[in-house]
Amino acid sequence: MIKIMMVDHEPKQLSPGELSVLYKAFKGVEIEFETTRPKGHKEHVENCRRIQPTVVLLPSEFSEWIPIQAMREGFRHIVVSSRGVSEVCPIRLGHTPDLKPFEI
C-alpha cells in the first residue's frame, strides 16, 4: 500500500486525469490518502514524521510554500497534473524549486 499525504487539498479535488496519472505512477498499487492542513513548516514536518507517507502531494500552486525541512529529512514531495507526476527537488532557501520526473 502507498500512503499519500495531501497538503491543503483532498482527493476529491483531484481531476479524473490527475487520479489516473497517480494510479499509473504507482503501478496500480492501492493508495491510501490522508489530508493535512498544517499552519506552517514546523507542523508540516511533524505531520510527515507522524504519518510517515510514501510521498507528500502538494497542491499545484505550491510555489509560496516550499517544505524545505521535511524534504531535508527525506520526505519526498510531488505535484501531479494530467501530464504526469513530478518530484520537487530539494532547494536552498530563497530559490525557485526545480521539478524532475517522479520515479518510485
Domain residue ranges in the chain: 19-28+38-80
Question: Burial level of 8, CB count in 10 A (0-12/13-18/19+)?
Answer: middle
pLDDT band at residue 91 under the 50/70/90 scheme: low
| More confident of the two residues 65 and 71 | 71
Q: d(Cα 97, Cα 90) in Å, to the nearest integer?
A: 7
Q: How far is CA 98 from the centre of its chain?
A: 14
Mean pLDDT, the chain, as a whole number? 86
The cell 525557485 sits on which residue? Answer: 96
Pick 47 or 100 by higher pLDDT: 47
Average pLDDT over residues 50-59: 95
